[in-house]
């Protein structure tokens, strides 16, 4: 059973009565954060009411510039973004954020969708694409998926940043040994390739495992895969890099504990 909230221009958001009573069962000490960017105040207000009643914290913005000034929260979050905005195309804005390293799991909403725009949005990393008017349950499910995806994103970025931090401890020679031994070569083969003795290779290998904090060769191979598959921090910025470079400007929401753990999001 749904009720209709009429928005500007005849648009509506359908609300389920059961959603209005779910906030009391909030299972998080800190409610999950949702950011909304839509140039129509009525749309922002209606979506904010729905999400707030469903147990989410909501911050609304009428332009992408306001969101850019607000910054990327340190905690997992979800961005609800209108495709058609006065200052910039929503998909283009998400692509800009990606290039800046300010990635956020995004749900697009639009009253004028098309297949090419949907494809572009998904290629830019959108979690979902909802046409207006949308069903309340569909929006809640999309937000939950986006929050879970954002949590996983921040976890991957933190793990990658930590691996690159360890990799930065290695000398040039140790890096050569690191990649050689993790590619499957024996110590004797690595020594022959690098023009040094097998005994010296063993010394370098031990230092590499110590600096990379790898207890076994299998663990070292896993770390090497991460280094190979991810760009070095100086070539591609991530949310974690932005935290360390300019936390006061890029991250406005700061909490004592920004660790990423397993969360249960409202409505699940």
Q: Give the Cα separation of 40 and 62 in Å (integer).
A: 7
DSSP assignment of 114-162 equals -HHHHHHHHHTT-SEEEESS-BHHHHHHHHHHHHHHHHHHHHHHHHHHH
**pLDDT(263) > 70:** no
pLDDT in tens, 97-113: 888 888 999 999 987 76
All structural domains of the chain = 3-156 (3.40.50.2300), 161-248 (1.10.10.10)
Distance between CA atoms of residues 31 and 133, nearest Å: 26
Cα angle 5, 44, 94 (rounded to 5 degrees) comes to 130
pLDDT at residue 14, as a whole number: 41
| Cβ–Cβ < 8 Å for 48, 58 | yes
The confidence band for 234, taking pLDDT boundaries of 50, 70 and 90, is very low
Q: What is the largest CA-CA distance in the chain?
A: 78
pTM: 0.68
| Cβ-proximal residues to 254 (8 Å cutoff; 6+ apart), any chain | 74, 247
| 32-76 pLDDT tens trace | 999 999 888 888 999 999 999 999 999 999 889 888 888 889 999
Per-residue pLDDT, 245: 45
Q: Which value, in Å, is the radius of gyration of the alpha carbons in the chain?
A: 23
β pairing state of 12-15 and 3-6? antiparallel
> What pLDDT, in 10s, does the model give residues 123-148?
888 999 998 888 999 999 999 999 99
pLDDT value at 24 more than 80: no
pLDDT at 15: 41
Q: DSSP 3-state assignment of 94?
A: helix
CB atoms within 10 A of CB 188: 11
For residues 76 and 154, is the Cβ–Cβ distance under 8 A? yes
């Amino acid at each position: 059973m749904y009720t209709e909230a009429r928005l500007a221009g005849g648009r509506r958001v359908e609300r389920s009565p059961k959603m209005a009573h779910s906030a009391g069962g909030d299972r998080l000490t800190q409610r999950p954060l949702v950011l909304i960017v839509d140039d129509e105040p009525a749309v922002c207000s209606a979506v904010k009411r729905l999400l707030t009643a469903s147990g989410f914290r909501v911050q609304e913005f009428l332009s992408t510039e306001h969101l850019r000034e607000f910054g990327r929260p340190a905690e997992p979050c979800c961005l609800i973004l209108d495709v058609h905005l006065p200052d910039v195309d929503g998909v283009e804005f998400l692509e800009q954020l990606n290039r800046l390293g300010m990635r956020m799991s995004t749900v697009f909403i639009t009253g004028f969708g098309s297949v090419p725009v949907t494809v572009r949005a998904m290629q830019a990393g959108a979690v979902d694409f909802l046409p207006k008017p949308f069903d309340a349950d569909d929006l809640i499910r999309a937000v939950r998926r986006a929050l879970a995806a954002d949590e996983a994103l921040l976890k991957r970025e933190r793990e990658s940043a930590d691996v690159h931090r360890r990799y930065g401890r290695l000398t040039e020679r140790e890096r050569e040994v690191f990649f050689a031994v993790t590619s499957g070569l024996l110590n004797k083969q690595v020594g022959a390739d690098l023009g040094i003795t097998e005994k010296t290779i063993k010394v370098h290998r031990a230092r590499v495992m110590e600096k990379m904090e790898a207890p076994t060769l299998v663990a070292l191979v896993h770390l090497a895969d991460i280094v190979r598959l991810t760009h070095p921090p100086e070539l591609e910025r991530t949310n974690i890099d932005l935290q360390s470079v300019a936390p006061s400007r890029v991250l406005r929401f700061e909490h004592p504990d920004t660790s990423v753990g397993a969360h249960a999001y409202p409505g699940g």
